[in-house]
A and B are shown apart, each in its own frame.
Chain A
Amino acid sequence: MTSSPAHALPVPLRRRRDRWVWALVVLVAVLWSISRAGVSGVLNQRGFGQLSSFFRAAIQPELSGDLLRIALDESITTVSYALLGTVLSIGIGLVGGVFMAESIWSPITRRWSLSRRFGWRSTRALMAIPRSIHEVVWGLLLINVLGNDPWVAVIAIGIPFGSVTAKVFSEFLDEVHNDSYKALRIGGASRLQALLFGSMPEASGDLLSYGFYRLECAIRSAAVLGVIGAGGLGFQLQLSFTSLDYNEMWTFLYALIILSGLADWWSSSVRRRHASPNTQVAEGAGVARQPGRDRFLSWSAISAGLAVPLSWWWLDLSPSNLWSARTQRLFGDLVTDSFPPTITNGFGSLFTASVDTVAMAVLAIAVAFLPATGLAFVIARRSHDQSTDGSASLASEGARFVTRLFLLTLRAIPPPVWAFLTLFVLFPGIWPGAVALGIYNAGVMARLQAEVVENHDDSKGRALEAAGVPRVSRIAYATAPQLAGRFSAIGMYRWEVAIRETVVVGVVGAAGLGRVVDEQVVRFDYDGLTSTLIALMIVTIAADQISAGLRRSLR
């Protein structure tokens, strides 16, 4: 059979049809969410004055010595929460990751028995529970047991992050070539010994680099936890907001933006250097740099390590508080009050709240997706930008910097604060939560998408550029088809995260399960809370499955 390219059949026909089906599903989901949230009578005209005075205060933050002092102290507190929470999560992740790793469950000969497979799968399922509950919910529960104690924030970050880290670390362990683990096992080493000598050394660098990413996330979480009362910058934000002192609020917001920016920079530098340790030296000299000897990486690890005891001292953590008689009694009460689960306002209302949660997350991503995509192209640094005319123009550098700063602001301001603001102009319901999460997620998503743009192979686009095709057509014909899949995958991933985050905006009065959680915590309705948390878990895990399925079909 002669083959001519022009008549060749498009091979992945079936997969493309899959894509159209999924695109239709997404479209229907968005339309359904809009109808669920309602379109008429959601705007509150009277709130615009408040909103504009809030933004006008941005140029006049309160800069008195006392307040700056408070801002500095609370910044250190927030960083300490984040750091100790991350350290706790890495500890949990190390142990949990070992128990979740496929290699530790798999027999030497790779013939799985049913009981082994069941054991492995149920361990993984069990370890998924803590991460399906958002830090804020952990925080709310812990406040009731530990009271006003710095442990609340540290543990509230450590538990769900630890569960995520465990999953990721188990994947690292399984990804490093399994042979050296197997060779040790066949030589008589126990599973744990073989992991220690065979897999861990290779995976530990990845874990360290991932730890810095978690630290960046933990700073944001620590701020959110402050808003619910755990102290730190978030708490001050909440106080200033309640007294409607916007100038004070902006002081704390700027502190948060700086912290968040530093964390972003540190985390992305560590990850970039870890991913390609040879770039600086190998290009010129042709000599591979010694692996694991990057001075920046060593410096980062050492300074993070030194900061741990400092944070401990700053927060004045006392482990005895965890075991005190009062804590034990309150914890016992919490457990006995939580069982058996009851349904406070009937099954129907719980179902409605679950559906609202899903709709809110869908709308949040729908709102965020297009602006984020556009901004991602503005901030993405492409290697050929410089090469076409020697150097990038000052104007485009400036636009890039301003946009980056703007996006940093979007994601540095915690979603509950965005929710306070949207509640000025939107009546309580699905919309204010969706818009608040949308604004925050636009900041996160644009950054992820820009990384995709920076890393994709642009030879086709450049070919068109050489042929004189204008920029927008170039994006439509070359870049967009290449990137659509990856961008959609990021959107799905953020939707999954947004489902969890609905709790965060729920607690300040938006709709969904988050609001129910907040009401039940305030009323000490713990047996009702148990059912709500179970509903939240089911929604989260279902969303994870749907998103994982969709992302697989996009690959």
Chain B
Amino acid sequence: MRFEEVTVDYGDGRGVFDLNFAIQKGECVSFVGPSGAGKSTTIALMNGLVLPDSGTVSVLGVDTRELVRRSGASYRHRIGTIHQSLNLTGALRVIHNVSAGRLGRWSTPRALLSLLSPRDIEEVRLALERVGVGDLLWERTDKLSGGQQQRVAIARVLLQDPDLVLADEPVSSLDPARSRSVIKLLVDTVGHTAERPDRALVMSLHDPDLARSFSRRVVGMTEGMVQFDLPPSSVSDDMLDELYSLESLPGSPAEP
């Protein structure tokens, strides 16, 4: 994946400005920084939810402008995203929400059939067991707790089996202890694993300590710009303090 002089300007001082970096196969990268630093925009640029105003983003060798076209569906299927608000379908049972990860490979009649009589039940169960909630297969998704839904969302990505996994603030709604275990689960299951050594995992995280403990590369952002891009051992507490204090400087928009 490669960002070249990428700018997205929302016009109110927010956005990302002149991003240049590359992420290789098998990497595990965290983006850290205060709210409004542009982390979520950066993630959204990677799957095509946001297109750059200028510059180019290429993912898996394809420009994201191509990615969002009809012909880009097969590439989109190779990118798995865990959204900040999970975006599961509450009214569906867990099994359907997990098998939704297969939609890119299923024909529409098959997808319709699966809603009536579920396909690939065993694979879905295996995926759920790997994230520790194998017994929830037949529950309605909106009845689950936040942490359980989080795991269902990870299981969906497991079933999708993509080459690149994006996770936008995956633990924003969890307490610190649970955050740790979810991030560990993410890294262990959908990061690069023994059977998928090429898979890359990109996360945006509010908490820099989590980023330092679990990723191999930490990118610090403020005001839409990259401040540092280092291995975790080289990220000092002073650098983080500075990163998180910048937002209170005059001139930057105040957070509500």
Contact = CB atoms under 8 A, between A and B. Distances in A.
Interface string B92-106: 100011001101101
A332 B103 CA distance: 44
B85 A186 contact: no
Given A109-B50, A190-B108, A184 B92 contact: no
Pairs of residues from A and B, 6 with the lowest C-beta to C-beta distance, nearest first: A188-B77, A188-B104, A189-B103, A183-B87, A201-B91, A188-B76
Interface in A281-327: 290-292
B48 A192 contact: no
A201 B89 contact: yes
Q: Is the interface of A mostly helix, strand, loop or mixed?
A: helix
B49 A197 contact: no
A186 B69 CA distance: 11
Contact of B89 (A193, A198, A290): A198
A108 B48 contact: yes
Contact of B87 (A179, A188, A290): A179
29 contacts: A107-B68, A109-B48, A111-B51, A183-B87, A184-B103, A186-B49, A186-B81, A187-B77, A187-B81, A187-B100, A187-B103, A188-B73, A188-B104, A188-B160, A189-B104, A189-B111, A190-B73, A190-B108, A193-B106, A196-B108, A196-B111, A196-B112, A197-B89, A197-B92, A197-B111, A201-B96, A204-B91, A291-B91, A291-B143
Nearest to A288: B143
A198 B112 CA distance: 12
B90 interface: yes
A458 interface: no
Contacts of A183: 81, 83, 87
Nearest to B115: A196
B103 A194 contact: yes
A197 B51 contact: no
A109 B47 CA distance: 10
A290 B143 contact: yes
Nearest to B97: A197
B153 to A, nearest CB: 9
Contacts of A185: 76
Contacts of A61: none
Given A187-B101, A189-B100, A197-B103, 9 more contacts: A109-B68, A186-B48, A186-B76, A187-B80, A188-B104, A196-B115, A197-B111, A198-B89, A202-B89
A400 B18 CA distance: 70
B90 A202 contact: yes
B8 to A, nearest CB: 11
A199 B83 CA distance: 17
A542 B105 CA distance: 46
Interface in B200-229: none
Nearest to A291: B142
A193 B68 contact: no
Contact of A197 (B78, B115, B142): B115
Interface in B39-98: 47-51, 68, 73-81, 83, 85, 87-92, 96-97
B24 to A, nearest CB: 23
A187 B48 contact: no
Interface string A93-111: 0000000000000011101
Given A187-B104, A194-B103, A196-B111, A180 B88 contact: yes
Contacts of B108: 190, 192-193, 196
B108 to A, nearest CB: 5
Question: In the complex, which of the residues A186, A194, A197 has the most CB atoms of chain B within 10 Å of its own CB atom?
Answer: A186
Contacts of B180: none
A182 interface: yes
A277 interface: no
B130 interface: no
Contacts of A485: none
B140 interface: yes
A290 B112 CA distance: 25
Contacts of B73: 188-190
Contacts of B103: 184, 187-190, 193-194, 197
A111 B85 CA distance: 22
Contacts of A182: 49, 87
A205 interface: yes
B93 to A, nearest CB: 9
Nearest to A111: B51
A116 to B, nearest CB: 12
Interface in A193-224: 193-194, 196-198, 201-202, 204-205
Interface string A478-507: 000000000000000000000000000000
A201 B115 CA distance: 10
B139 to A, nearest CB: 11
B49 A180 contact: no
A292 B143 contact: no
Question: In the complex, which of the residues B90, B97, B103 has the most CB atoms of chain A within 10 Å of its own CB atom?
Answer: B103
